[in-house]
Chains A and B, each alone.
Chain A
Amino acid sequence: MFSYEQPGEYQKTMDNIKIFILDDDETNNELEIMIMQSIGISNIDVRTSGKEALRYLDDCKEKNNFPAIMFVDLNMPGMHGFSFIKLYEENYRNFSPHTRIIMLSNSILENEKKEALKHESVLDFWSKPLKAGKLQEAIAKIKSINEEIVGWEDLKM
């Protein structure tokens, strides 16, 4: 647990934070959602293919409402994780400068991690399974970064 400056702030943060999961493994997705919910996150969108994810991003763009964190699986049939990230950075990043991507993978090959972190929008590279504690840390970190750049309160989440 991290310290939040004001009481209730935590829940506020968790309430407002919007998460997007891109992974073809549905079982995995179900379980991840449950993990997130268990720490207070309720605003979670899921897509199981890169194609669908891009459509979702179009939607976000339209509504001008992008997720704060996108969890992107590395190995997916159809579009590879990196391909998606590239497309995102090319076409959507401008509209959501605050979005952070965290890559998830079953395997952690050093060169894959390096490759991932090269991308501007990628914050980190985690191996599965997703850990609640780690997620909380990440959220705290993002909050602090975003507070510096943009007023947290101003963000529509």
Chain B
Amino acid sequence: MNDTLNINEIPSGLIQNDKSEIKSKLWLQAILDNSSLNIMAFESIRDENGNIEDFEFLFINKKAEESLSRVNLTGKRFKKEFPGIYSGLFDLYAEVTETGKPLDKEIYYNYDGYELWASINATKLEDGCLVMYSDISDRKKAEQREKEFHEEIGSSNTTIRRMLDGSIAAICLFDTLRDEKGRIIDFIFRGVNKASEVLNKKGENDLIGKGLIESFPEVNEVFFKEYVKVVETGIPLRTDLEGYDHWYRSVGVKLGDGLVVSTEDITDRKKVEYEIKKTKELLNLIFESLPMHLSFNKAFRDSEGRVSDFIMEASNASNLKINGLSKDELGKSIQIILPEIKNHPFYQTLVEVAEKGFAQQEESSYYIDNKLTWLLTYYIPITDGVLVAGLDITDRKKAEDDLRESQHFIQQIADTTPDMLLVFDVTKKKVIYVNKEIYTTLGYTPESIYQMENKVFEQLLHPDDYQKLIIHYSSLLYIKHGEVREIEMRIIDSNNNWHWYSIRETLFKAADNGKAQQILAVCQNITSQKQAEAAFIEERTRNLELKRINEVMDTFVFAAAHDLKAPVSNLKLLTNVIENTSETAIRNQLQGKYLPIIETLEKTITGLVRVLEIENDSSTGVKNLFFKDIFHSVLNELSENVNAQNVKIHADFIYCQSITYIESYLLSIFRNTLSNALKYKSDNRELIVNINTQYSGKYVLFTIRDNGIGIDLEIFGKDLFKPFKRFSTQSEGTGIGLHLIKSMVSKNGGKIEVESELGAGTTFKIFMAEYK
């Protein structure tokens, strides 16, 4: 309000009219009274010298009257009414009146404890001034207080400042901001520490003097209300709050018309608390669910520091149960809750563990619910107490007993069975148990067997069977429970005699991966059976041989009989005839007949002997023979017949020149086949004989082909190689030639084949097995 109010500028209409002058005067008064400003108008009172010595109140509004606490000041003198108190003001007004320079100033007035801050506007009004001022005391006071406060904190209390800044809690000092009605509408930050700055994410300067809601509009209403409550009730606030993924603990305490709030970020602590809680829950769960009887017993020491008692501080449900206790008895002395415990070895152990600090364990039996129970108890010293953990091992004990019993049982079986029993480790390849039978039958002590370690099989088994075992081994590795493997082996005894054993193997123990680890073997001595078997086989072979021989002999004998008897009967006949003949000439003639008959007889007998020789012959006289040589030798023998007749013989040994054979046999083969070809030649044509040798599979094949009269194989085929069967009267032979050849050849695995066509010729194929 800098404008000078010049009366002259008031619309003349208002002044000239008296009525309206009064009206406008009242109207003006009303306006000015309504104002919240203090408005006064002065006229200066000058002295003889023209200096202003006082002012006369021309006008004063209601507000000013209130402020001055005086009414009816109009026409009164300023200095006179307020002597001395407003002298500063007087000078300022005088200056305005004199200079006409407007005044716009904040002044501070202090009189007798009465403070006043005012903002004054004064303008010259004719020979006086118009003054308008507002009381800004409150504002100024607040500012002053602030300043003081800051100075207090800033200058004289740096230590406290440091302390506050050093705190991890965010500390804020608030003053209330109240509305006209006195209700708290906000809290003004008066002071903050470093932590607070961080928490609020604002610097000190941004916070101080600002309102809480003003700065953080999003502040929780409840939160705010709590603060209000603190200020109003004086009851401190203690609360944990959650906000922005953090946990805070707030403590608010009334201070003046405000409060100090200390906020700590307890997120970590909360987390830890949470973890601890969870861990506790987990531990408790474990504690309760472990299949052990658990208790923690704190040592109670007497005045001399010796353990005199224990307090059962914790126990899981199963431990309470077996001791017949209830939860209420936790925390009490065990001598009270378990009377007579002091005499029990359990107590002694507890004391020992608590005193010495070394853990112990013991197995002991108790009667619980009238049942014999075995417990394995662990005593573990923890701080000044003992954690006792008892494990029910009744089943295990029972299993151990059962095992012992069955071991005893097995041992008895092992000792009484006539079979040899052994357990061997498959991977280590050594015998880990063998019963006494090994000594009885083989003469080895069990100890000596164990000492052989992994050489045991090598040393005791027949080399062939050891090889067999190596192969058999791989099937043993995968043997399953219930499966049985069998093997027969020869084992040498301590006198170097071999014994046959029939061994049955089963799984004794399996490794974790399922493979066999130990094998139980039951060994039955079958030496006598084996010997009987061998004897049986030998006999059977012999029998077969005998049978063969018998068959040969039967045919042979039969044929022999006939062929021997023939010349003999002829001799008888001859004798008879000669007896009945008296004529000398005829007698002489007849006597000449003896010789040929006897020769026939001799030939037959020779032939028979030959057959027998072949049957009994072993393969002595085996050598490498060249066909060429044999052939020429035989040709020589038969030279008469060969040369005398129309005969052509071709021999070709180019594909196989020699054979390892018995010389006499080979000669017989050549001789016999060749002489047969000569005997059975056709009258109608020249005899052509072809001989050749070659390799055929595992045999040496001798082929002789002729173009003689041939043989009707349909009729004679089956008798071809039987002794003494002649097929035509054409020959003079004994009839055992082919039979002999067959015997020779088949003796060591050879065979003979014949092809023939009547009237065309015959082919003999002799497959000879070479001698080694």
Chain A interfacial positions (CB closer than 8 Å to B):
24-25, 27-28, 30-32, 34-35, 38, 48-49, 75, 77-78, 105-107, 127-132
Contacts and interface: CB of A to CB of B under 8 A. Distances in A.
A3 B608 CA distance: 47
Contact of A107 (B565, B572, B597): B565
Nearest to A38: B580
Given A31-B570, A106-B562, A106-B569, A24 B729 contact: yes
A35 B729 contact: no
B572 A129 contact: yes
A34 to B, nearest CB: 5
B577 A106 contact: no
Interface string B556-591: 001001110110011011101100110000000010
A105 B561 CA distance: 11
Contacts of A48: 729
B593 interface: yes
B515 interface: no
Interface of B: 558, 561-563, 565-566, 569-570, 572-574, 576-577, 580-581, 590, 593, 596-597, 600, 725-729, 735
29 contacts: A24-B726, A25-B570, A27-B570, A27-B596, A28-B566, A31-B570, A31-B577, A31-B593, A32-B573, A35-B580, A38-B581, A48-B729, A49-B729, A77-B727, A77-B728, A77-B729, A77-B735, A78-B727, A78-B728, A78-B729, A106-B561, A106-B563, A106-B565, A127-B569, A128-B566, A129-B570, A129-B573, A129-B576, A132-B576
Contact of B593 (A27, A129, A131, A132): A27
B20 to A, nearest CB: 192
B597 A27 contact: yes
Given A106-B566, A107-B561, A38 B593 contact: no
Nearest to A77: B726
A35 B570 contact: no
Contacts of A34: 577, 581, 590
B569 A28 contact: yes
A28 B576 CA distance: 12
A30 B597 CA distance: 12
A107 B577 contact: no
A101 to B, nearest CB: 19
A31 B576 CA distance: 9
A126 to B, nearest CB: 11
B564 to A, nearest CB: 8
Nearest to A109: B558
A30 B596 CA distance: 13
B588 to A, nearest CB: 14
Given A27-B596, A132-B580, 20 more contacts: A28-B573, A31-B574, A34-B577, A35-B576, A38-B580, A77-B726, A77-B728, A77-B735, A78-B728, A105-B562, A106-B562, A106-B565, A107-B558, A107-B565, A128-B565, A128-B566, A129-B569, A129-B572, A129-B576, A130-B573
Nearest to A48: B729
A27 B735 CA distance: 17
A25 B563 CA distance: 11
Contacts of B596: 27
